[in-house]
Amino acid sequence: MLRLMDEKMLYPLKFKTIFKDKIWGGNKIHSILNKDYSPLPNCGETWEISGVTGNVSVVEYGELKDKSLTDLILQYKGDLLGPDIYANFGNEFPLLIKFIDANEDLSIQVHPDDILGKARHNSFGKTEMWYIFQADQGSSLIVGFNKDTNPEEYQASLNNGKLMEILNREVVSVGDCYFIPAGRVHTIGKGLLLAEIQQTSDVTYRIYDFDRLDDKGQKRDLHTEESVEALDYKFHPQYKTNYSIHKNSANLLAKCQYFTTNLLVLDKTINKDYTGKKSFIILICFEGAGSITTSEEKYEIKKGDSYLIPFSIKNLSINPVGVIKILEVYIEI
């Protein structure tokens, strides 16, 4: 691609955090991730890399400081996203990266798939994954049903106050990973801090909200009717991801048409060659610190940082100070 003379060179991009106060949010975004969410009363979510309309990420530093992710895509196209990704998604960034702090249980919810999302909301569906990097003792989450069910049984359980009896609840700990395809009922439980990688979508169908009230004394809206068609009613014998950890190499956590995620546990410098990858790379640090070095410069990375590595950067090194833990994300098409 020919460059205009005044077009700035792409580099590893870190964006300004977008903070979201939530009825169920806590203070771990500050106490553990060292992010200042004031003047919000709490922070349930941070959006680290987002192309969602109204919540588009803005570059934090460097020559492209204050440029929005949308502006960068318009300007750099395939050099930023990868030519194949740009051909598929155009000017819409395909992933949303979050940290989530659940001080209370989130609502029981489900997300539509691409077909339903497009028909109802002109949106992508929402397949996602969670990686839990802090958990209070005894914390749990809900994922899927605990037996095969159907729309009639589900609605009867919901109407009779017995929904919890057919849902699968699991006690979780640090390092647990869950892949949540669109259609799978779920909720993040009290006491969990996690990274969420998902399709670019902000569509959630809230099924049950534990009858709690918002700051105005009102119950939040439920999406009972919308959920029925969106749900996968099948029981799955294994919800938690089984994976192995080998230091200083990529450990696969999730692989689907929307994203691939690897866990990197590094105690020495490693060189990454992304020549064979067809998309941008995202690096999400959730423990430790170090640096990312390209042929041009060195960039500090620490717990709570997320970097978007443009497609045009094919080689870099990750240099830990002690041990650093990173989620490595890209799209394979």
Place of tokens 């990274």: 195
Place of tokens 């990197």: 264
The number of C-alpha atoms within 13 Å of 183 and in the hemisphere containing its C-beta is 14
Active-site residue set:
206
Pairwise CA distance, residues 64 & 203, whole Å? 30
CA-wise closest residue to 240 among 155, 131, 92: 131
Pairwise CA distance, residues 4 & 76, whole Å? 11
Pairwise CA distance, residues 293 & 317, whole Å? 5
Pairwise CA distance, residues 19 & 35, whole Å? 9
Q: Using CA of residue 192, residue 195, residue 197, residue 201, what is the dihedral sign?
A: positive
Query: Judging by DSSP bridges, how do beta strands 51-52 and 55-56 pair with one another?
Result: antiparallel
Tell me how crowded residue 232 is: count the other CB atoms within 10 A of its CB. 15
Cis peptide before 39 (omega within 30 of 0): yes
Helix (H, G, I), strand (E, B) or coil at 322: strand
Helix, strand, coil percentages, rounded to 5, for the chain: 15, 40, 45
Question: Are 186 and 110 spatial neighbours (Cβ–Cβ below 8 Å)?
Answer: yes
